[in-house]
Structure 1
């Protein structure tokens, strides 16, 4: 067996293209059967997006196995079978597609890093994986054997028998000369696709217009609906996001409070201070006249609480040194894997925090 191909750090956007290429290869007409296909999708919404493709694959394969995390086994396409993965199962963090015939093999194995690529258009497209891709038959054989062993009795007797039959045929036949050429082309393809996506994320010509009218963040980028995947395909249970609801309370310099240019300058100074605290991959969305939603991908609970208290301290320090900003902030936060994000719960928690004069409150994710 050849050396295992080196892993690449790739975004979901690139991996979608690579997985589609492997699925297209499985659907191509070829007299090299029988074929077995394993596909781990992590969550049901991702599989539903590709259901019709796997209906076609199942019609050509001796066995098609779909694995995903869930409470109930979904209805699989005709000719395929679905396997449930426990949230704590090692396979639950995998996005894998393996195609194997006696004469052909292709594989994508991607491990969810639960990290986010700054500048990505959406939370989904910017999810980061440690991934290997290959068009080597023996590499696909290795992955099929691994999945066969790890899934064990969760596979039906028919699926196990079909896999065994293909594996026996593969072992009887030598690998096809020239596999390394296709493999090298696939690696170049994924590397350049990722580089192109990175250039689009950071280049001067990147698209800034949101798909949903009026849905923008404070920097003019696509806002809450598009960025969190509400308008596309997303799923609970994957990338953690720290969500902070922030309310700014401006101090009144006179009985009638700040007005006119003073109020405008105060408001702008508050926004500038708020945005200055964000990391490159974070977003800030206006949720009301003086209320904002901060979205911080891949931040854990302790770091999110620390960020909130540092934000409170930053406004307190600014009040002591700035003639333009005299304001305090109240923060309600959670770290969640839920989609859509729990905005209503955070808004209610923020109202409660204001009445209790509590600078920071947390809710369960």
Structure 2
């Protein structure tokens, strides 16, 4: 990462406003061309949401380059040059938007940490290390960097347009006042962050519609980015368990099981009760060993309930998977839990996932 500014930690929610500001600046009426724009989207769904904006940008720009894993759709707007990124290359982690003219520059360069912070949705809480600003020479540096890294995948007309724009920018000194304007924009951005809607307080337990909203199933999200560990859990009492004092305190026992489940959740985790005795836990950015450790803590917590309810010995079966698929493979998870119960296996896994689309 360019050392002109120390990288900062951002959530996706805070970076969306910056990327939109750069795109709107590229669309502004101005006589300071030529304009060149680079945008790295990571995955196609994120570009699809902004497709119309980039069609309008391309109408004004000498060169507009968009890149993402697997490549953009074949029906790109005219004069938008698409680049396919490989799943394994460093640029696949990058979310960048750069606009450059001889007298203007806007830059957002951010690198996906594959981690998440508490936020109203899983997608909004994705964490990035990066920097942004509105200084022309910083944008020039990023255009040169991206042109060099993508040169072999760009057609001749795109390379020529980029080279001519860079030469023109180098002929003209940066304008005065950039640092003052940028300072004002940063103040507005900080105020916007403070006024942003915070994550709602929760014990982590959601109903199924709320979990769908939180995981982005009803919004813009994409497979192949943030890894999420899934734990399917079924808690049963042995058949024919004796009643206590003539009547079992099912409500209190059910609440105790619920407390054991929510007790293992971090602030970024969520869970849903999919049946009276079955739960799904969504644990962002955890590895499989870390998810198995959560299952171990669940087993200890469920086993400990026998001290409070000595006539009830619960049995627990679980399934564990780590996925980058969206929507989350909850049907597969539930089937794995059913298999674990049927076969008497304490912890089951899901079959390995196929390689993400676009990977080579």
1:104-115 → structure 2 map (5 Å cutoff): 104-115=104-115
Deviates more, 1:183-192 or 1:91-100: 183-192
CA distance in 2, matches of 1:358, 1:347: 14
2:303 to 310, 316, 319: 316
For 1:47 and 1:33, how far apart are their aligned partners in 2?
A: 24
Structure 1 residues 257 and 56, CA gap change in structure 2 (3 angstroms): farther
Cα distance change of structure 1 residues 14 and 157 upon mapping to structure 2, 3 Å threshold: same
Conserved in 2, the CA contact under 8 Å of 1:265 and 1:324?
no
Cα distance change on mapping 1:194 and 1:222 into 2, 3 Å: farther
Per the TM alignment, residue 277 of structure 1 is displaced from its structure 2 partner at its CA by 0.9
Task: Give secondary structure in 1 for the equivalent of 2:87.
Answer: coil
Q: CA deviation at 1:271?
A: 0.2
Between the aligned partners of 1:30 and 1:255, the Cα distance in structure 2 is 80
Task: Report the equivalent of 1:345.
Answer: 332
Is the Cα–Cα contact under 8 Å of residues 309 and 360 in structure 1 kept in the other structure? no
User: Shift of the alpha carbon at 1:100?
Assistant: 0.5
Q: Which of 237, 248, 263 is the equivalent residue of 2:250?
A: 263
CA 1:245–1:7: 2 relative to 1, 3 Å: same
**Secondary structure of the structure 1 residue equivalent to 2:40:** strand
SS in 1 for 2:225: coil
Aligned equivalent of 2:69 = 69
- Measure the CA separation in 1 of the matches of 2:94 and 2:149: 13
Contact 2:204-2:262 at 8 Å conserved across structures:
no
- The answer to whether the Cα contact below 8 Å between 1:39 and 1:65 also exists between their aligned partners in 2 is yes
Q: Could you list the runs of 5+ residues in structure 2 that have no partner in the other structure?
A: 354-360
Asked whether the equivalents of residues 116 and 127 of structure 2 are also in contact (C-alpha less than 8 Å), the reply is yes
Partner Cα separation in structure 2 for residue 57 and residue 324 of structure 1? 69
Q: Distance in 1 between matches of 2:279 and 2:20?
A: 38
List per-residue Cα deviations over 1:105-131 (Å, max 9, x = no partner): 10100111111112x111111111112
Post-superposition shift, 1:183? 1.7
TM-score computed with the length of structure 2 as normaliser: 0.91
Mapped partners of 1:196, 1:107: distance in 2? 23
Q: Cα gap change, 1:251/1:192 in structure 2, threshold over 3 Å: closer, same or farther?
A: farther
User: What do the CA deviations read for 1:69-122 (whole angstroms, capped 9, x no partner)?
Assistant: 01675421111111000001111011100000111110100111111112x111
Aligned positions of 1:230-309 closer than 5 A? 230-251=217-238, 254=241, 262-309=249-296
Deviations 1:223-248 (A, max 9, x none): 22101111111100000000111111
SS at match of 1:23: helix
1:1-365 to 2 correspondence within 5 Å?
4-70=4-70, 74-118=74-118, 120-197=119-196, 200-201=197-198, 206=200, 218=205, 223-251=210-238, 254=241, 262-320=249-307, 322-323=309-310, 326-363=313-350, 364-365=352-353
Please say if residues 233 and 318 of structure 2, whose CA atoms lie closer than 8 Å, have aligned partners that are also in contact. yes
Alpha-carbon distance change, 81 to 260 in structure 1, aligned in 2, over 3 angstroms? farther
Contact 1:68 1:92 in 2 (8 A): yes
Residues 308-352 of structure 1, C-alpha deviations (whole Å, 9 max, x = no match): 122112212332454486422211110000001111111111111
- Could you say which residue in structure 1 is the equivalent of 2:357? none
Q: CA deviation at 1:182?
A: 1.9
Aligned length: 351
In structure 1, list runs of 5 or more residues that go unmatched.
209-215
Distance 1:159 1:286 in 2: 53
1:7 Cα deviation (Å)? Answer: 2.2
In 2 relative to 1, CA 345–250 (structure 1 residues): closer, same or farther, beyond 3 Å? same
SS in 1 for 2:122: coil
Change (3 A) 1:230 1:172: same
Alpha-carbon distance in 2 for matches of 1:164, 1:144: 10
Contact 1:37–1:100, Cα closer than 8 Å, also in 2 = yes
What TM-score do the two structures reach when normalised by structure 1? 0.90
Aligned with 1:201: secondary structure?
coil
Contact 1:133–1:186 under 8 Å retained in 2: no
Question: Aligned partners of 1:74 and 1:355: how far apart in 2?
Answer: 47
